[in-house]
Structure 1
Amino acid sequence: MTQAQPPHRVVVVGGGFGGLSVVKGLAGAPVAITLIDRRNHHLFQPLLYQVATASLATSEIAWPIRSLVRDRPEVTTLLATVTGVDVATQRVRFEDGTAIAYDTLVLATGARHAYFGHDEWEPFAPGLKTIEDATTIRRRILMAFEDAERESDPARQRALLTFVIVGGGPTGVELAGTIAELARHTLPPEFRNIDPGSAQVVLVESGPRVLRGYPDSLSDYASRSLAALGVEVALGRAVSEVAADHVIFGDRRLETRTVLWAAGVRASPAAQWLGAPTDGAGRVKVAPDLTAPGHPQVFVVGDTASVLDRKGRPAPGIAPAATQEGRYVARAIKARLRRASRPRPFRYRHPGSLAQIGKQSAVIDFGVVRLKGEIAWWLWGLAHIYFLIGARTRLAVALNWVWIHARNQRSARLITQGKS
């Protein structure tokens, strides 16, 4: 009697868009999947800034990973921190010293914010990549108003009501616009000793314009819309110093207690684990089939991978790119198991760029079609609701946005985790 062949062992490190797309794409394949993440939830990162600015609750943009694969008996979920990969023995090492073997490994370990050689700025200028980041930022923003309400010294009060966002990409623009709306439309009726509407919101961008990846017309519209919300847009000025009580950009020193970082990202240390070549952001320069050079059993996707599009430009670090890469890897693994010809080289197809500026303003670039203003805002909202998981979440987020649009009320203004 012939002994049954053990299933092919696929280990996926990272439960984000890329990792989950691989798992989803392998449904029905003769594999045993182990999905590893150091957090127990999948995060819809495009709306993370809305948690940071008290528009949405954490449960509305995050879901337990186990619940997402509960109907997949071939998938084992592990809550663990990966510290390395032994490619010689094909094992993934954990923080506690244990390890797990793989036949095929998929690294979808994401990225963190980068401070361009100034990591000492991080305690004073948190970035936005995780739920913990978002709740930290939310706490800092809300506590700034609370502390200002009790402050009698005008200079210190002014510093508390000054918010600086570094980086004029989509995250920076969205943070700046939403903080301005929070200060000018939501909070004023609730404070007695200060006028929250007098808060100074400054968006600092080292380049010549915000939303550099968008057409000039949409970038200019975003700048005008931010100015209409009361946001000061400081262009062509690089940050040279960040401290607990001030920030310096260009030749200007600004007293502030709240600096938020949206200026750059750096990939996880996955490339170091593999000894693989990287780009300037630490992403693995993958082969055309998304494998790590010299390691055909290791695929790399999402923010961990440096992938070129059809025009030879790096694919952006956004959810659609990670999802497309994850689907491709699943097809490639299934082709290997069937001993079929490998898929053609991966080609990223850009679905379009979207950024919200305020509660009635957004910009959308679909290439040929470019939209701005309120109609773009409605399409932006519909697109994001579509990609949320579950009818309850979609309904909750839609109702929250309608309430904010109609009443300027944000219900997620809870100060948690103490004060920092």
Structure 2
Amino acid sequence: MPHDPVPHLVIVGGGFAGLWATRALANAPLRITLIDRRNHHLFQPLLYQVATAGLSSPDIAAPLRHILRRQHNVDVRLGEVVSIDKQQRRVLLGDATYVDYDLLVVASGATHAYFGHDEWAKDAPGLKTLDDALLLRRKLLLAFERAEAESDPDKKAAWLSFAVVGGGPTGVELAGTLAEIARHTLKNEFRHIDPASAKVRLVEAGPRVLSSFPDTLSLKARQQLERLGVEVLTGTPVNNIDAQGFQLGDTFVPARTVVWAAGVAASPLGRTLEVPLDRAGRVQVLPDLTVPGHPEIFVAGDLASLMQDDGRPVPGVAPAAKQMGAHIADSIRARLHGKPAPPPFRYNDQGNLATIGRMAAIVHVGKLQLSGLLAWWFWLAAHVFFLIGFRNRLVVLLNWGVAYWSYQRSARIILGSPYESRKPVAPESTQ
């Protein structure tokens, strides 16, 4: 530890790992600077609900300054860290300023991965931020409006063709919700199209959807998707995407709306550490979550790569990020008080949850495997419980209650001009 009586801890990223580490050190003798390029903490597991108009942005996000307003050892700074100088112990921000540190936690998360085809991004947006969600919502809702105004049958069918690439939890949740919107939410609202005729396809390169779940639950998820009207295509990867549709093997499928949910890559900030990375660009950390050769630098969340005892990497999920943040806080507290370091980090797997649609979900917690309505109630309770702030929990619960009984989605508003294809989307009101 440095000789400064009040060491300076810099935490990069206000996601689950960064925020949990910050809050766990509320009473520690530290100066903490939390840096994030956005002013809010986002509950990413419900981001697809914003994209599909079920929730508004403030329902799943809260300003970092508000969350930490009573923690007086924290200074929140809005900015983007672009590089890290390990020798000088400073982080460089995008505005050419820098912040010195004694201890550093890097938890800058992940971004979209198009497997070497970044040119697909403009026609197949992903879902990682609120900006992504609002753009995607706009794209989905405008597709029905374009179909309503189109007289050519083939072009109309292309506007009513939706594809979600990637059969993980985000892809499954998006596909199921899209099918519900087409068949129930938009019923009787259009005069020249039948929204229920929309084709929703879920495309997964692997042999089954939700591959992180047991085979039996994966099969039940597929069956529930198909009951909702989703066409599930597995075993063949997409090999091209453009504004008109996607190529699946030798077949071109017209689809004016393609959503990318197939892969993630670690934040490019990890490369500036100049330490070993895995194939996804994640930092290969030591068991105490520090960087090799630099015990003052911790890496957590989606940016960290650590193998578990069973030979599998710690998954990039919210519970793992929270546990990493808490473990780092324990390690820092031990150093500050001259106590032995805590045991190496061990991920406590709290199970997997995925919702497919209304009253349809799957749950895998230890030996417990659930599907259908009971799993859906379990999923709902878990997500409401982990939302930050009483207001968020209350609003989400009320919105879900209304949607359950009426099939309506409260945030079905197209922001920005509908006549410009990629006009920046205005932020939603918090009122």
Q: Same fold (TM over 0.5)?
A: yes
Residue type at the aligned position of 1:204 = V
Q: State how far apart, in whole Å, the 1-side matches of 2:4 and 2:131 are.
A: 43
The residue aligned with 2:366 is: 367
Q: State how far apart, in whole Å, the 2-side matches of 1:103 and 1:139 are.
A: 44
Is it true that 1:227 corresponds to 2:226 in the alignment? yes
The residue aligned with 2:428 is: none
Deviation at 1:336, TM superposition (A): 0.8
Q: State how far apart, in whole Å, the 2-side matches of 1:189 and 1:332 are.
A: 58
Q: State how far apart, in whole Å, the 2-side matches of 1:26 and 1:9 are.
A: 12
Deviation at 1:5, TM superposition (A): 5.1
Is it true that 1:23 corresponds to 2:22 in the alignment? yes
Deviation at 1:367, TM superposition (A): 2.1
Number of aligned positions between the proteins: 417
Residue 105 of structure 1 aligns to a residue whose secondary structure is strand
Q: How does 1:341-360 map to 2 (within 5 A)?
A: 341-360=340-359
Residue type at the aligned position of 2:149 = R
The residue aligned with 1:213 is: 212
The residue aligned with 2:86 is: 87
Q: State how far apart, in whole Å, the 1-side matches of 2:292 and 2:266 are.
A: 17
Is it true that 1:165 corresponds to 2:164 in the alignment? yes
Describe the superposition over 1:142-170 as per-residue Cα deviations: whole angstroms up to 9, x where unpaired: 00001111010100000000000000000
The residue aligned with 1:181 is: 180
The residue aligned with 2:426 is: none
Residue type at the aligned position of 1:308 = M
Q: How does 1:197-346 map to 2 (within 5 A)?
A: 197-346=196-345
8 Å contact from structure 1 (residues 16, 43) kept in 2: yes
Residue type at the aligned position of 2:236 = R
Residue type at the aligned position of 2:334 = A
Q: State how far apart, in whole Å, the 1-side matches of 2:343 and 2:176 are.
A: 42
Deviation at 1:315, TM superposition (A): 1.2
8 Å contact from structure 1 (residues 238, 250) kept in 2: yes
Q: State how far apart, in whole Å, the 2-side matches of 1:271 and 1:131 are.
A: 23
Q: State how far apart, in whole Å, the 2-side matches of 1:89 and 1:417 are.
A: 45
Is it true that 1:376 corresponds to 2:382 in the alignment? no
Q: State how far apart, in whole Å, the 1-side matches of 2:285 and 2:94 are.
A: 26
The residue aligned with 1:63 is: 62
Q: State how far apart, in whole Å, the 2-side matches of 1:89 and 1:20 are.
A: 25
The residue aligned with 2:146 is: 147
Residue type at the aligned position of 2:154 = A
Residue type at the aligned position of 2:294 = H
Task: Tell me the percent identity.
Answer: 54
Residue 309 of structure 1 aligns to a residue whose secondary structure is coil
Q: How does 1:383-398 map to 2 (within 5 A)?
A: 383-398=382-397
- Per the normalisation by structure 2, the TM-score is 0.95
Residue type at the aligned position of 2:72 = P
Residue 122 of structure 1 aligns to a residue whose secondary structure is helix
Residue 228 of structure 1 aligns to a residue whose secondary structure is helix
Q: State how far apart, in whole Å, the 2-side matches of 1:310 and 1:129 are.
A: 30
Deviation at 1:348, TM superposition (A): 0.4
Residue type at the aligned position of 1:268 = S
Residue 122 of structure 2 aligns to a residue whose secondary structure is coil
Q: State how far apart, in whole Å, the 2-side matches of 1:250 and 1:229 are.
A: 25
The residue aligned with 1:14 is: 13
Q: State how far apart, in whole Å, the 1-side matches of 2:331 and 2:5 are.
A: 20
Deviation at 1:210, TM superposition (A): 0.3
Mark the CA change 1:407 to 1:352 in structure 2 (over 3 Å): closer, same or farther: same
Residue type at the aligned position of 2:193 = I
Q: State how far apart, in whole Å, the 1-side matches of 2:324 and 2:61 are.
A: 21
The residue aligned with 2:101 is: 102
Residue type at the aligned position of 1:98 = T
The residue aligned with 2:39 is: 40
- Which range moved further: 226-235 or 248-257? 248-257
Deviation at 1:395, TM superposition (A): 1.2
Deviation at 1:246, TM superposition (A): 1.5
Deviation at 1:27, TM superposition (A): 1.4
8 Å contact from structure 1 (residues 206, 237) kept in 2: yes
Deviation at 1:308, TM superposition (A): 2.1
Residue type at the aligned position of 2:396 = V
Q: State how far apart, in whole Å, the 1-side matches of 2:322 and 2:414 are.
A: 33
Q: State how far apart, in whole Å, the 1-side matches of 2:359 and 2:250 are.
A: 34
Deviation at 1:61, TM superposition (A): 0.2
The residue aligned with 1:118 is: 117
Alignment root-mean-square deviation, CA:
1.0
- Per the normalisation by structure 1, the TM-score is 0.98
Mark the CA change 1:354 to 1:339 in structure 2 (over 3 Å): closer, same or farther: same
Q: State how far apart, in whole Å, the 2-side matches of 1:69 and 1:282 are.
A: 31
User: Which consecutive residues of structure 1, in runs of 5 or more, have no partner in the other structure?
Assistant: none
Q: State how far apart, in whole Å, the 1-side matches of 2:285 and 2:128 are.
A: 23
User: Which consecutive residues of structure 2, in runs of 5 or more, have no partner in the other structure?
Assistant: 423-431
- Which range moved further: 226-235 or 304-313? 304-313
Residue 380 of structure 1 aligns to a residue whose secondary structure is helix
Deviation at 1:6, TM superposition (A): 3.7
Residue type at the aligned position of 1:331 = D
Q: State how far apart, in whole Å, the 2-side matches of 1:272 and 1:214 are.
A: 31
Describe the superposition over 1:221-252 as per-residue Cα deviations: whole angstroms up to 9, x where unpaired: 01111111110000101010000111001222
Residue 188 of structure 1 aligns to a residue whose secondary structure is coil
Residue 77 of structure 1 aligns to a residue whose secondary structure is strand
Residue 93 of structure 1 aligns to a residue whose secondary structure is strand
Deviation at 1:400, TM superposition (A): 0.9
Residue 190 of structure 1 aligns to a residue whose secondary structure is coil
Q: Which runs of 4+ in 1 moved over 3 A?
A: none
